[in-house]
Amino acid sequence: MDIRSMRYFVAIVDHGSLTRAAEVACVAQPALSQQLAALEAEYGVPLVHRGPKGVKPTEAGKTLYRHARTILKQVESAGADVRAAGAGVSGAVAIGLPTTAAAAFGMPLIRAVRERYPQVRLQLFESMSGYISELLNNNRLDFAILFRDTPSRAIEPEALASESLYLIGNLPESTGARRRRPAGAGRGTIALKQLAGVPLALPSGSQGLREVLERNFAQAGVAPNVVADLDSLSCLLATAREGLACTILPASAVNPSDAAMPTRLILPELRRTLSLCWPRALPRTRAAEAVAEILREIVAARIAQGGSLKPAPGMPDAVPE
């Protein structure tokens, strides 16, 4: 298996189609099919499932895909480092941002990278954290922001900040929380135990936020009444806005134009940690380190502003000027 074969196989898996992969790789489809057949003969196992809707990798194919991605990234990094030696920072940097993090940091990051490192080509993937984690595990990203603080075999997290979680939306009258909310206040509070029975729309179980919530609900002995699993920030907010169910999100997720939407701090306070997560299998390129440093600066500046972001556990409370 050579580098060219790796590129062809990665293109097939990425696009799920031999025809589309051939177009992207600028090679005739019969030649691409022959390369795939040669790989399957070399390893002695099927690497893809062929069907009317395209091709999908087998378990063996997924394993080869992860390794091929890693090797191609290392080859690309080596070339970028050689070209950058003695020159400015350059090269492609692929990062993943969950939707709430993208709303807060995406544009400031793009502006700063363009200003400081015009030779860096930023590739930004915005999605729910579960999909971002999948991209990171498959070595498709240089790094990502994830809501986790524990390392794994594949990921090394670096805590950047933490933020409180709020109940968003109108509560049933039976909870009594609305009456205790100060008149005219933009935000009130609610005890975690009062959420028993409250209809909730939450991200699905594969998302970092859901894991944080389930852990805290279990510790409090409260069974969450989840009526919808929505992996869409806009749908979560719309569901709360229309009174269909409440949701739980950081305050930064709520648009200032939604100031009239009830937003209550949950007590005891629930917090999630924002971490810069690096894939252990990939080298950290000079360009990736430069972009990561900009992101650290942006987050530190937000903490210093005294908004919803706070230092992560173990971080100093004060941010040096």
Q: 113-122, 147-156, 170-179: which range is least confident on average? A: 170-179
Q: Which CATH number fits domain 3-72: 3.10.620.30, 1.10.10.10, 3.40.50.970, 3.40.50.10860?
A: 1.10.10.10
State yes or no: pLDDT of 277 exceeds 80: yes
Nearest to 249 by CA among 276, 211, 209: 209
Quick check: helix, strand or coil at residue 92?
strand
Structural domain spans, the chain? 3-72, 86-161+273-310, 163-272
Separation CA 190–CA 194 (nearest Å): 7
Q: How confident is the model at residue 185 (pLDDT cuts 50, 70, 90)?
A: very low
First to last CA, the chain: 52
97-119 pLDDT, tens per residue?
Answer: 998 889 889 999 999 999 999 99
Return the pLDDT at 19: 87
268 contact partners, CB below 8 Å, separation of at least 6? 192
State yes or no: pLDDT of 83 exceeds 70: no
**Torsion region of 26: left, alpha or beta (phi above 0 gives left; psi -120 to 50 gives alpha):** left
Q: How confident is the model at residue 171 (pLDDT cuts 50, 70, 90)?
A: confident
State yes or no: pLDDT of 85 exceeds 80: no
199-236 pLDDT, tens per residue?
Answer: 999 998 777 888 889 999 999 999 999 999 998 888 99
Domains 86-161+273-310 and 163-272 share a fold: yes
Average pLDDT on 52-61 reads 88
3-53 pLDDT, tens per residue?
Answer: 888 888 999 999 998 888 888 888 888 888 888 888 888 889 999 898 888
User: Mean pLDDT in the chain?
Assistant: 85
Return the pLDDT at 191: 94
Task: Tell which CATH architecture fits domain 86-161+273-310.
Answer: 3-Layer(aba) Sandwich (3.40)
Return the pLDDT at 174: 53
Separation CA 160–CA 295 (nearest Å): 9
Q: Please say whether the beta carbons of 147 and 212 come within 8 A.
A: yes
Return the pLDDT at 177: 47
State yes or no: pLDDT of 87 exceeds 70: no
State yes or no: pLDDT of 192 exceeds 90: yes
Separation CA 305–CA 303 (nearest Å): 5
State yes or no: pLDDT of 194 exceeds 90: yes
pTM of the shown model: 0.65
Return the pLDDT at 315: 60
Average pLDDT on 156-172 reads 90
Return the pLDDT at 178: 42
CATH class, 163-272 region = alpha beta
Return the pLDDT at 184: 35
Bridge partners for 279 per DSSP:
155
Return the pLDDT at 84: 60
